[in-house]
Structure 1
Amino acid sequence: MDFRFNFAVDENENSEADTHFLLLGSAKHSQESMEKGRKTADAGADCSLRPGVGQHQEEAPRTKHCVKAAKEHLIPEDLNKVLENKVMETISDLYHVNVSVVEMTCSGDADSEGIVSKSVSSHSDLIPGVYEGGLKIWECTFDLMNYFSEAKIEFSNKTVLDLGCGAGLLGIVALKGKAEKVHFQDYNSTVIEEITLPNVVANCINEGSSKEDRKASKPPAKRPKKGEGSPEGLNKCRLFSGEWSEVSQLLLSGNKPFSKYDIILTSETIYNPDYYSALHDTLAQLLDKNGRVYLASKVHYFGVGGGIYLFEKLIEERNVFKSRIVKTIDEGLQRCIMEMAFKDSS
């Protein structure tokens, strides 16, 4: 049963929770992906800038990294406007916008970038420099969420950035873990407005709901009233769209007080080697001197050429961070979780 956050329950018997995954490759290539990644990483320093390098794979065309201006998205006072006509479902006990409905209904001013129509018409989860996959929930997001529990990652009183957030599930987990501040960033403003913000709001106003209610997709017992004030969790949040370096500049040079992040979370953001330099520099600029980055990735991304070993190579070359693989997932396409910290950190 799906429900809409205009608090009318949708009794469509045929509707089911529909979680989307972006899998670039297939399970039978998992071992091959690891071998390709290692060979590519050892091929030389310039390999980190050439997507698609690998045995039996043609070199992909070079992607020009598009600089998209940064923008902060303010949380409106009337939360009902954020949740209006949003069909919700639950994933891992978290409320989440049904993306299929967004794809069918999002147009005009709600999609000023045109990414929904372009993604649907091209049947593509990635349009470099235009749409960077934020409408989908990528597989490694759940790997990282599971790792939080296994490794007992402590978010309490920490400042956290969900970088390349998409649905924002990683940041929402940190928020529920009593983080002091949680910031969300995605390349596309449409993703922030139509996916991330509604997800954050829905989970904040449902903070007191039971696990059984969330599994049953029950709406909040209390409807938020205009002028009532934001739930406590929302006061901890800021949301940004734009290219990584532009968002860094906005934060570091802005009028609002800014402290660097204790924890930066990012999932499947290293699929395209053309973006590695910008990602590395953003992490270096925004991470606290004793902070940690938790990065989840597939070993190799077929068709775009990125992967964990290429990014490790870049880290070694830059000599700013130390990194280690803290978990490897061998189910299907092999995936990894990497922890990063400054070399001189405690």
Structure 2
Amino acid sequence: MAFRFNFSIDEIEHSEAATPDEVDAQRCTPKRKQESTEKSKQTAGTVADSSPRLGAGEGRDETPPEKKFCFKAAKEHKIPEDLNKVLENKVLETLSGVYEGGLKIWECTFDLIDYFSEAEIHFANKTVLDLGCGAGLLGIVALRGKAEKVHFQDYNSTVIDEITLPNVVANCINEGSRMGSGDHRKTSKPPLKRPKKAECSPDALTKCRFFSGEWSKVSELLLSSNEPFLKYDIILTSETIYNPDYYSALHDTLAQLLDKNGRVYLASKVLYFGVGGGIYLFEKFIEEKNVFRSSIVKTIDKGLQRCIMEIAFKDSS
């Protein structure tokens, strides 16, 4: 199931219709360049009609444009003291007792959640990072699995504030701590749907931290913080390898933040049409870097073929 909110994500327009590659292209194209491109498109017909055509090599810059990479600053998002405020005007639904929401929850997320049960992945007493978290379902599952700490990261600050935080809070607060029945009568909004039994408690929120920004910047923020930082036992990530341009940044982030005996569980489609990324291309990238060892631990053949990959340091136990 996928749920969407009626807002734009930071500088990304038309986010409801955006695919991963469209989101990526919009978020990493400088705004001035976008505006210039649009103006060029609008005036192209006039220029072509009123100006003589250029001969071969005349007045043209044959140098291919360099790729523009954005490095969005990282920041930490604090959990508000009033948890009821976090849930106001939010769309929340349940899936097997887990609150779910978001602009888009890609199918590989559910593949990875299924794999946790099948492979008996244990989160108890582990430090976990949900990288590129979106709605935060992977981190929420880890939290419900009694992880010691769970950190959530997404490129967009609005996703963290409007989707991830509300989803995590909704899974952690007790039913009785929400608005009382008298408060429901004061508003025309319907009460939020809730699972019959919550497996988290408000205390679980003290285990959580939330970050937005580009991967390398989040790594810098964590590693340079005055607060003690333990590297992650488990890093979870889904649908983050669709664009080969960012394999280096993702690889470096995993290398910097994963504990020497930690594990990465990555869910991906075999191929992302139109962008060129996919599980086998990233597997080859890892082999060439010679830092990690990787193995495809599950393949899903329903619809577009999808895979689960496990990654660990080559010298890990």
TM-score normalised to the size of structure 2?
Answer: 0.72
What is the rounded CA distance, in whole Å, between the counterparts of 1:204 and 1:167 in structure 2?
A: 15
Amino acid in the other structure paired with 2:259? D
The Cα shift of 1:80 comes to 1.3
Residue 102 (structure 1) aligns with? none
- 1:1-346 maps to which residues of 2 (within 5 A)? 18-19=2-3, 64-97=68-101, 99=102, 135-206=103-174, 218-219=193-194, 231-346=202-317
Q: Secondary structure at the match of 1:203?
A: helix
| Structure 1 residues 63 and 333, CA gap change in structure 2 (3 angstroms) | farther
The Cα shift of 1:24 comes to 7.7
Amino acid in the other structure paired with 1:344? D
What is the rounded CA distance, in whole Å, between the counterparts of 2:141 and 2:243 in structure 1?
A: 26
| 1:48-75 C-alpha deviation (Å, 9 max, x unpaired) | xxxxxxxxxxxxx985321000000000
Residue 42 (structure 1) aligns with? none
Checking the alignment, whether the CA contact within 8 Å between 1:267 and 1:295 is kept in structure 2 is yes
Larger mean Cα displacement after TM superposition, 277-286 or 63-72 = 63-72
What is the rounded CA distance, in whole Å, between the counterparts of 1:245 and 1:288 in structure 2?
A: 17
Q: Secondary structure at the match of 1:266?
A: strand
| 1:134-159 C-alpha deviation (Å, 9 max, x unpaired) | x3101100000000000000000000
What is the rounded CA distance, in whole Å, between the counterparts of 2:195 and 2:95 in structure 1?
A: 16
The Cα shift of 1:284 comes to 0.2
The Cα shift of 1:87 comes to 2.4
Amino acid in the other structure paired with 1:338? M
Q: Secondary structure at the match of 1:306?
A: coil
TM-score normalised to the size of structure 1?
Answer: 0.67
CA RMSD of aligned residues (A): 2.5
Q: Secondary structure at the match of 2:92?
A: strand
| Structure 1 residues 318 and 220, CA gap change in structure 2 (3 angstroms) | closer
What is the rounded CA distance, in whole Å, between the counterparts of 1:153 and 1:274 in structure 2?
A: 31
Checking the alignment, whether the CA contact within 8 Å between 1:63 and 1:274 is kept in structure 2 is no
Q: Secondary structure at the match of 2:293?
A: strand
Amino acid in the other structure paired with 2:248? S
Larger mean Cα displacement after TM superposition, 173-182 or 199-208 = 199-208
| Structure 1 residues 220 and 155, CA gap change in structure 2 (3 angstroms) | closer
Q: Secondary structure at the match of 2:100?
A: strand
| 1:239-283 C-alpha deviation (Å, 9 max, x unpaired) | 000000000000001011100000000000000000100000000
What is the rounded CA distance, in whole Å, between the counterparts of 2:132 and 2:91 in structure 1?
A: 23
What is the rounded CA distance, in whole Å, between the counterparts of 2:2 and 2:306 in structure 1?
A: 23
State the 4+ residue runs in structure 1 displaced beyond 6 angstroms. 20-25
The Cα shift of 1:96 comes to 2.2
| Structure 1 residues 274 and 157, CA gap change in structure 2 (3 angstroms) | same
Q: Secondary structure at the match of 1:292?
A: strand
Q: Secondary structure at the match of 2:229?
A: coil
Checking the alignment, whether the CA contact within 8 Å between 1:262 and 1:291 is kept in structure 2 is yes
The Cα shift of 1:309 comes to 1.0
The Cα shift of 1:339 comes to 0.1
Larger mean Cα displacement after TM superposition, 200-209 or 233-242 = 200-209
Checking the alignment, whether the CA contact within 8 Å between 1:298 and 1:334 is kept in structure 2 is yes
Amino acid in the other structure paired with 1:279? L
Paired residue total:
245
Q: Secondary structure at the match of 2:296?
A: strand
Amino acid in the other structure paired with 1:93? G
What is the rounded CA distance, in whole Å, between the counterparts of 1:315 and 1:81 in structure 2?
A: 43
| Structure 1 residues 67 and 24, CA gap change in structure 2 (3 angstroms) | closer
Amino acid in the other structure paired with 2:118? E
Checking the alignment, whether the CA contact within 8 Å between 2:292 and 2:314 is kept in structure 1 is yes
Larger mean Cα displacement after TM superposition, 88-97 or 308-317 = 88-97
Checking the alignment, whether the CA contact within 8 Å between 1:62 and 1:274 is kept in structure 2 is no
Checking the alignment, whether the CA contact within 8 Å between 2:174 and 2:202 is kept in structure 1 is no
The Cα shift of 1:90 comes to 1.1
Checking the alignment, whether the CA contact within 8 Å between 1:155 and 1:179 is kept in structure 2 is yes
The Cα shift of 1:325 comes to 0.3
The Cα shift of 1:218 comes to 3.7
What is the rounded CA distance, in whole Å, between the counterparts of 1:261 and 1:62 in structure 2?
A: 35
Higher RCO (C-alpha 8 Å, min separation 6) = 1
What is the rounded CA distance, in whole Å, between the counterparts of 1:207 and 1:155 in structure 2?
A: 24
What is the rounded CA distance, in whole Å, between the counterparts of 1:331 and 1:220 in structure 2?
A: 29
